[in-house]
Amino acid sequence: MALARAAGQAGPGAALALLWLLVRAAAPPAVCAPGDSGCLRLSVADLFDRVIRHSGRIHSLSTALCAELENRFPARDNELGKPARRCPTAGMLTPNGKEYAQKIPREELTYVILKLLHAWKEPLSHFNQHMEHHQELPDDSLSKAKQISKMVHELETGIEKVTEKMQSMGIISNSLHGMASSEAAGFSSTNEANMMSDSDFIHCFKRDSNKVQCYLKILKCRIMPENSC
Amino acid sequence: MDLRHLLFTLALVCANDSLSSSDDLLRWPQISKCRSPELETFSCYWTDGNLYNLTAPGTIQLLYMKRNDEDWKECPDYITAGENSCYFNTSYTSIWIPYCVKLANKDEVFDEKCFSVDEIVLPDPPVHLNWTLLNTSQTGIHGDIQVRWDPPPTADVQKGWITLEYELQYKEVNETKWKELEPRLSTMVPLYSLKMGRDYEIRVRSRQRTSEKFGEFSEILYVSFSQAGVEFVHCAEEIEFPWFLVVIFGACGLAVTVILILLSKQPRLKMLIFPPVPVPKIKGIDPDLLKKGKLDEVNSILASHDSYKTQLYNDDLWVEFIELDIDDSDEKNRVSDTDRLLSDDRLKSHSCLGAKDDDSGRASCCEPDIPETDFSASDTCDAISDIDQFKKVTDKEDLLCLDRKDDESLPTLADADAQQLHTNTQSDRSESWPPFADSRDSASPSVHTQLSNQNSLTNTDFYAQVSDITPAGSVVLSPGQKSKVGRAQCEGCTEQSFAMDSAYFCEADVKKCIAVTSQEEDEPHVQEQSCNEDAYFTTESLTTAGIGLGASTAETPSLEMPVPDYTSIHIVHSPQGLVLNATALPVPEKEFNMSCGYVSTDQLNKIMP
């Protein structure tokens, strides 16, 4: 957990570096010539590695927070799909297996990732506000929640930049914007979140963070032409 | 559903208890575990219960239901995973979706479990463990190896669908406890410092990166250096940590520390082991003695030093008489030492001088490095010639009546040291004088310094300072210096409570005192006057001019006259007289003028051992 937190501390810096590098990468070649020692050119693979590491940190943090909350508020286990446990992103269609993730187009996979991250931003902020009023929780959990929220923002920004780079490089098409409008968020986050307990909420997020991480890995594998994904 | 489940569980428990008596162990079928090795498929395993034989011979079914399903479905594959298992292949597996499985026999539900596939990941063990020798130590006793393995074949690590962590454990063959390394992502691990003469066993297990549970252990890898054909040295058993030596040395150290602490409590032994660092002081004189007021000892010590008689003058050093004309009776009330010395209050002087004179040795005073002062005083004006007379004096007042006067008379002695000597007359006086030397240390060192400083000017000095007091009660005067030194001296001496009436000054000091005070314009008071009034003469002047006020001479450069140093005042000859004992000379034994009651220094020295 300390590793995750330490990694999380580097998160903003990594995201900023990521952004800066993406901007630089998108800049005209005259700005940064190859072989220039002061200018670091990152390939898409490197960018993906950074994004994947970031999502891994998010997953670790959420796992730790979920464990803490479940220790404090023991969840009713072995419950199947109770309304109280309905995740904010339950209505979203996401590939539920590796083969599905391999089959769908890369643009759609990218879009799914972005949609997932975007869907969690608002519930997480609500959750943070709710946690701050929660006097019983230790500061450790509160800080983790805040960090998760912040890192989700950063990850979304990073993935958007990676997407732009991929689109500029022609790896994926520019049809992403069309998909964004077709599918609305489709969930009333506020109502759902209010009904859920804290541990269930974070449990949902943990699962979705694992999804994001796996999708990113598959996406990276699929983008690299040499890999047999 | 919740209540039903609870009742079901209770029923099971009760049934177990009730039926356990009849049968050894009646168990219901239970789902033992569900695991997914690679996050693509999963299997569930259950155990048969003994009840199976008793109940109707139906078949146990495993039913499952996903979150979005409405109905329970049966297990698609009972075979692939073995007996009493259910295998869900990729088509039946949805990763991030909650599942519930239950073990049932028709309508009888034995067990139920709900989970999500991403939470039950338990990877298979790694495969293809092997090791290579990295290097060996120079002695050939230890060596480093590198262990490599492959991830479990089922896990799709290459595409990154699952990330695995590995934990390696190793131990010597005949040990029982495994040593663990930290979980790491890499599939190769170096092991350092293995004993070449031993064989090792290594095993690895893996887990999903964010989960807590490890999968099964891999097969054990045997590491044997002899098989690798590596040259190694059979060495004897390693020397283990020398606990025995540590205990022994620790005990010794403790004992030494305790002994040192105990010894430090005893000053004598402490002195023996940690001898005190010698501080500059007069040989044989302990500053503490002076402080404590043990005048007898101080006097004895001072007197025992023959080396004090360094300044020897060929002149006859018999006690010279100096009669001091004291006209002003008010001088009694003067604060200055000079006044006191010259005042009519002879009692002071007597008492001060010979109070504790038990010793016979008398060092001559007024020698540069003689810190002692010989005061011989008697009440009856005549010099106390012998020790007995000294002893007669019972009045223990200061010769210089330093203590009688207020502290203001000793401005430079405002410290406690002077007060400590209060009871001790001579020592007090001796303390009072050293301030001339700008130091408040013990009398001896400062006086010594003073005397040594004055050594250079002895020929032209006049006495302006009582430098020390011998045990016999004689004041040892130190020759004053010219100008500044003298001024300083006289400044002190004027302020000191001279028992003027009955005190003897070394001529130089007194003369210096006069000279200085005459020079000083800021002390036009009686002290100066008293200084001037007193007849301080050098030996020559005394002998030649007799006793008389030598104010003029004091001011004149009689300083330049080579005079011997008088370093002790023996006896008050008269109310205005001073009997000065010059510095000890190796003169033959003089006639001991018993009537006058004074003794020369050397005579005293001869008298006393």
B210 vs A59: CB contact, 8 Å cut-off?
yes
**Residue B479: what pLDDT?**
63
**Residue B1: what pLDDT?**
63
Read off the DSSP letter of residue A38: T
With contact defined as beta carbons under 8 Å apart, do B463 and B488 qualify?
no
Residues B576 and B503: their CA atoms lie apart, in Å, by 9
Whether the pLDDT of residue B575 is over 70: the answer is: no
Task: Report the interhelical angle of B443-455 vs B483-495 (nearest 10°).
Answer: 140
B67 vs A81: CB contact, 8 Å cut-off?
yes
Read off the DSSP letter of residue B118: G
Whether the pLDDT of residue B252 is over 90: the answer is: yes
Residues B346-357, mean pLDDT to the nearest whole number: 46
Q: Which residues pair with B47 in a beta bridge?
A: B30
- Count the residues in chain A: 229
Residues B339 and B72: their CA atoms lie apart, in Å, by 127
**Residue B24: what pLDDT?**
58
- Residue in chain A closest to B111 (alpha carbons) equals A78
The two three-digit tokens of residue A12, written as one number:
């903003």
Cα-Cα-Cα-Cα torsion B351, B352, B353, B359, nearest 10 degrees, comes to 90
- Higher pLDDT: B296 or A53? It is A53
High-pLDDT (> 90) share of chain B, %: 14
The two three-digit tokens of residue A213, written as one number:
């991480």
Other CB atoms within a 10 A radius of the CB of residue A49 amount to 14
The two three-digit tokens of residue B443, written as one number:
């009398």
**Residue A224: what pLDDT?**
81
Q: Give the list of residues 6+ apart from residue B469 with CB closer than 8 angstroms, or none.
A: B295, B299, B372, B373, B374, B375, B399, B425, B426, B427, B429, B430, B475, B476
Measure CB to CB from residue B93 to each of A76, A81, A97 and give the nearest one: A97
Residues B158-187, mean pLDDT to the nearest whole number: 91
Residues B511 and B507: their CA atoms lie apart, in Å, by 6
- Mean per-residue pLDDT of chain B: 66
A221 vs B67: CB contact, 8 Å cut-off?
no
**Residue B237: what pLDDT?**
58
High-pLDDT (> 70) share of chain A, %: 70
**Residue B383: what pLDDT?**
44
Note the pLDDT tens digit of each residue in B398-457. 444 444 444 444 444 444 444 444 444 444 444 444 444 444 444 444 444 444 444 444
ipTM above 0.95, yes or no: no
Task: Report the interhelical angle of B443-455 vs B425-432 (nearest 10°).
Answer: 50
Residues A206-227, mean pLDDT to the nearest whole number: 87
Residues B153 and B157: their CA atoms lie apart, in Å, by 9
Residue A57 contacts B, CB cutoff 8 Å = no
Residues A156-184, mean pLDDT to the nearest whole number: 75
B159 vs A217: CB contact, 8 Å cut-off?
yes
Chain B residues in contact with A215 (beta carbon < 8 A):
none
3-state secondary structure of B514: helix
Read off the DSSP letter of residue B509: H
Tell which phi-psi region holds residue A35, choosing left (phi > 0), alpha (psi between -120 and 50) or beta. Answer: left
CA distance A78 to chain B (A): 4
Largest CA distance in chain B: 153
Burial of A135 (0-12, 13-18, 19+ CB in 10 A): exposed
Residues B254-262, mean pLDDT to the nearest whole number: 91
Whether the pLDDT of residue B517 is over 60: the answer is: no
**Residue A188: what pLDDT?**
47
Residue B201: φ, ψ to 5° = -120, 140
B96 vs A210: CB contact, 8 Å cut-off?
yes
The closest alpha carbon to A151, from A10, A2, A46, A1, belongs to: A10
Greatest mean pLDDT among B277-286, B341-350, B376-385: B277-286
Q: How confident is the model at residue B88 (pLDDT cuts 50, 70, 90)?
A: very high
CA distances from B115 to B2, B88, B102, B203 (A): 16, 14, 11, 30
Q: How confident is the model at residue B502 (pLDDT cuts 50, 70, 90)?
A: very low
Residue A99 contacts B, CB cutoff 8 Å = yes
The two three-digit tokens of residue A68, written as one number:
């803490």
Listed by number, the residues of chain A in 203-222 with a beta carbon closer than 8 Å to a beta carbon of chain B are 207-208, 210-211, 214, 217-218, 220-221
**Residue B603: what pLDDT?**
63
Measure CB to CB from residue B90 to each of A94, A99, A229 and give the nearest one: A99
Residues B380-397, mean pLDDT to the nearest whole number: 45
Chain A residues in contact with B40 (beta carbon < 8 A):
97-98
Greatest mean pLDDT among A40-44, A51-55, A102-106: A51-55
Greatest mean pLDDT among A79-93, B13-27, B37-51, B272-286: B37-51
Task: Report the interhelical angle of A139-169 vs A106-132 (nearest 10°).
Answer: 160
The two three-digit tokens of residue B606, written as one number:
């001869």
Q: How confident is the model at residue B315 (pLDDT cuts 50, 70, 90)?
A: low
Beta-strand relationship, B374-375 and B566-569? parallel
**Residue B180: what pLDDT?**
93
Residues B401 and B333: their CA atoms lie apart, in Å, by 12
Q: How confident is the model at residue B265 (pLDDT cuts 50, 70, 90)?
A: confident
Q: Give the list of residues 6+ apart from residue B328 with CB closer than 8 angstroms, or none.
A: B526, B529, B530, B533
H-only helix segments in B141-242: none
CA-based torsion, B44, B45, B51, B52: positive or negative: positive
Greatest mean pLDDT among B60-64, B216-220, B429-433, B451-455: B216-220
- Mean per-residue pLDDT of chain A: 78
Buried/exposed code over B89-128 (b: 16+ C-beta within 10 A; e: otherwise): eeebbbbbbbbbbbbbbeeeebbbbbbbbbbbbbbbbbee
Whether the pLDDT of residue B276 is over 60: the answer is: yes
**Residue B218: what pLDDT?**
93
Burial of A67 (0-12, 13-18, 19+ CB in 10 A): middle
Structure pTM?
0.51
Other CB atoms within a 10 A radius of the CB of residue A192 amount to 21
Residue B73: φ, ψ to 5° = -115, 160
- Higher pLDDT: A85 or A161? It is A161
Q: Out of A211-215, B12-16, B165-169, B581-585, pick the least confident.
A: B581-585
- In the β-sheet with B61-66, what is the strand arrangement from edge to edge? B73-74, B61-66, B98-105, B108-116
Whether the pLDDT of residue B309 is over 80: the answer is: no
The two three-digit tokens of residue A125, written as one number:
């902020």
- Higher pLDDT: B317 or A124? It is A124
Q: How confident is the model at residue A25 (pLDDT cuts 50, 70, 90)?
A: low
With contact defined as beta carbons under 8 Å apart, do B74 and B103 qualify?
no
A97 vs B210: CB contact, 8 Å cut-off?
no
**Residue B297: what pLDDT?**
66
Note the pLDDT tens digit of each residue in B29-52. 888 989 999 889 999 998 887 765
Residues B410 and B491: their CA atoms lie apart, in Å, by 10
CA triplet B19, B23, B25: central angle to 5 degrees? Answer: 85
CA distance B2 to chain A (A): 9
Listed by number, the residues of chain A in 156-195 with a beta carbon closer than 8 Å to a beta carbon of chain B are none
The closest alpha carbon to A109, from A118, A117, A101, belongs to: A101
